[in-house]
Amino acid sequence: MPELPEVEIVKRSLKNNIENKKIKKVIIKNRNLRFKIHKKFENILKGKFIINVQRFSKYIILTLDNNSYCLIHLGMSGTLHILNNNKKKVITNLSFYHSPNLPKKHNHVHIIFDKFKIIYNDPRRFGFLKLIETPNKLRGFFSNYGPEPFDETFNISYLKSKLNYKSKNIKNYLLDQKFVSGIGNIYASEILFNSKINPQRSSGHLTQEDYKNIIFFSKKVLNNSIKKGGSTIQNFKNTKGYSGSFQKEFKVYDRENEKCLKKNCKGIIKKIVISNRSTFFCDLCQK
């Protein structure tokens, strides 16, 4: 599943291409995604201008000119492709998984503009496109989500109020979207490594220094990944066809039995499973 940095790259790609553009037509090839596409989806979007493209957590938010919204979630395998009417692009993929070219199958939604179209492809159909009618309903949709790591409310007071006296391990908290929005499995392991915190640590036993490190490295790791264009686990390419390169900087993820990269640390990277997710950490420097 694409995590926050990859979705941010997709958002920026879309923003460059579709903001302030008018939707001429929408064609639905398959409504049966994670949530069935609304029966009036085509008619509601037709003729609307996209006045803003935003992201919250792992969601892309298209703001339409009638103050309604279209949410896009890529699920496990969703990709967005841009096709120009006048020329064939070798690279069409704006997203994270699969081929950089438009696949022949599973092209479920076509959003057509004047000189190009955006196609939503999703082999596993865990993603979705959802209409939200008003700003209040949009706020309601995200009301159970925690702040993003970049939000000023993700601070020591917030962590203390949520984690004090809690027995659940800190890795599970970082993956809990009700606690903090947008962090996925890869980045949780990297954040905890940089913070020198064992992923199995009880959240109630964290110190104020631990809180500071979690806040600092959540921002740093995610920002670094965005700058590097996302992580290529399965051939992510951005709008220009360049692969994300953050995976080259993994300190622990997918490095089982390799030496710790921290200076003067003689630890070995271990792999364990926490809540059915692979988790990587140094057996020596993460306490």
- The residues annotated with a catalytic role in the active site are 2-3, 58, 277
Residue 96, phi then psi, degrees to nearest 5: -115, -50
DSSP 183-221: --HHHHHHHHHHTT--TTSBGGG--HHHHHHHHHHHHHH
Q: Would you call 32 helix, strand, or coil by DSSP?
A: strand
Q: Would you call 61 helix, strand, or coil by DSSP?
A: strand
DSSP designation for 249: G
**Cα–Cα dist 63/53, whole Å:** 6
Q: Say if residues 60 and 70 touch (Cβ distance below 8 Å).
A: no
What residues have CB less than 8 Å from 53, skipping those under 6 apart?
Answer: 11, 14, 15, 18, 19, 60, 61, 62, 63
Nearest to 267 by CA among 286, 248, 245: 286
Q: Would you call 15 helix, strand, or coil by DSSP?
A: helix
Strands 49-56 and 59-64: antiparallel
Q: Please work out, in degrees rounded to the nearest 5, the angle formed at the alpha carbon of residue 32 by the alpha carbons of 29 and 35.
A: 130
